[in-house]
Amino acid sequence: MAEKGENKTYHVSKRESDGKWQVKYAGGERAIKLFDTKKEAMDYTITMAGNQQRGILVHASKGPNKGKLRKK
């Protein structure tokens, strides 16, 4: 059985309320960190995920797939 904290995935998405990009753990209610741009959020998340061997899921920010997941 996996121990608590294992297999966490980072989610990157754009907040509707203020347009900031947020990084959250899967199932988390609060953002770990906020960014003004998607690039800043992705750079941070790629570094964190690489250091901790975690996955990243990116939510589309516009178009017909807005809010849906894109695997990254």
Beta strands 55-59 and 9-14 are parallel
Q: Which residues pair with 22 in a beta bridge?
A: 13, 34
Q: Where are the domains of the chain?
A: 9-71
Task: Tell me the residue type at 50.
Answer: G
Categorise residue 36: left if φ over 0, alpha if ψ from -120 to 50, beta otherwise.
Answer: alpha
- The one-digit pLDDT tens for each residue of the chain (72 residues) are 334 555 589 999 999 899 999 999 988 899 999 999 999 999 999 999 988 888 888 887 766 656 556 554
Burial of 61 (0-12, 13-18, 19+ CB in 10 A): middle
